[in-house]
Amino acid sequence: MNTEINFHPNEKLLDSFAQGKLPAGMSIAISAHVELCNTCKENTSVAEVKAGVALLETSETKSSSEFDHLVADIVKQPQQKNIMVEPSAVNEIHMLDHSVKLPKALAKVASEGLVWKKLTGGINRAELLLDDETQCEFLYMKPGSQVPMHKHQGNEVTLVIDGSFFDELGCYRSSDFVVRNKDHMHEPASEEGCLCFAVLDSPVTFTRGMARLLNPMNRYKFRRATAKQAE
């Protein structure tokens, strides 16, 4: 946690996070980064103050007295004296030779049960259904593995949980929050192995080699995953 973190969510993203406007998948990724990054923790507090000023200052279209009938029932309710947090069933992910402790938000979603699938090139992934706007997954890249060249139709956020990976633009280490925009083509690889949490707001398009064959399937899967939510 003390090592330097080089990549962070930008101010706009943190503002939207503080306002509660982002889909759950994206919010989970930011929450996990914020837990690991003191700078972003401070900035989130500031963003919450700003959001509170902006959102609770809006012109009043309905008078408070119209809600007065609610008070009698509310004050009959018991108060909460202690912070209650249910411990997550899963707190860490076991890798080949060590275990990785997960940030709380990720531990919670991992507790729902991860089903790991092997992809080509030493990549394993476990998909999660968190909302109907994003596709989320834990990605494990074995030491020496490489993801085939691909680009995204939307944005991709990758939070490095453990280890490191690199692409044409740089090297990313534990707690880094990496954003890749639409049409950015890249070929991430990892020397030492890497565990990530990735959030995509649209399917990946593979552009080279046999992996291209995956494209139609990939789109189908994304549609299915999101359609299931919308039912």
Partner 1 sequence: MVPVALSKSLRASARESNNADGVDSDSSESLLIAVGNWQDIAAYNKLFSRFASKIFAMGIKLTGNEQLANDLVQEAMLSVWQKAPLFDLDRGSAKSWIFTLSRNRCFDLLRKLKRQPSCVTSDDIWPQHEGEENTALDREEIVSLVTQIAQIEKYCVQLPEQQQAVIEQIYIFDRTHEAAAEALKIPLGTLKSRLRLGLGKLRQLIGVEQ
**Binding site residues, partner 1, CB under 8 A:** 8, 10-11, 14, 18-21, 24, 27-28, 31, 35, 39, 41-43, 45-49, 51-53, 55-65, 67-68, 70-71, 74-75, 77-83, 85, 87, 104-105, 108-109, 111-112, 129-132, 229-231
Asked if 140 and 125 count as a contact pair (C-beta separation under 8 A), the reply is yes
By C-beta, is 81 or 96 nearer to partner 1?
A: 81
CB atoms within 10 A of CB 216: 9
Q: How far is the CB of 179 from partner 1 (least distance, A)?
A: 14
Q: How far is the CB of 53 from partner 1 (least distance, A)?
A: 8
DSSP string, the chain: --S-------HHHHHHHHHT-S-HHHHHHHHHHHHH-HHHHHHHHHHHHHHHHHHSSSPPSS-GGGGGGGHHHHTTSPP--S---PPPS--EEE-SS-EEEPPHHHHHHHTT---EEEETTTEEEEEE---SS-EEEEEEEPTTEEPPSEEESS-EEEEEEEEEEEETTEEEETT-EEEE-TT--B--EESS-EEEEEEESS-EEE-SSGGGGHHHHHHHHHHHHHHHHH-
Q: How far is the CB of 187 from partner 1 (least distance, A)?
A: 29
By C-beta, is 75 or 210 nearer to partner 1?
A: 75
Tokens read off for 172: 């990313």
By C-beta, is 65 or 216 nearer to partner 1?
A: 65
Q: How far is the CB of 6 from partner 1 (least distance, A)?
A: 13
By C-beta, is 82 or 210 nearer to partner 1?
A: 82
Q: How far is the CB of 177 from partner 1 (least distance, A)?
A: 12
By C-beta, is 3 or 63 nearer to partner 1?
A: 63
By C-beta, is 46 or 169 nearer to partner 1?
A: 46
Nearest residue to 194 via CA among 115, 127, 121, 136: 121
Q: How far is the CB of 18 from partner 1 (least distance, A)?
A: 8
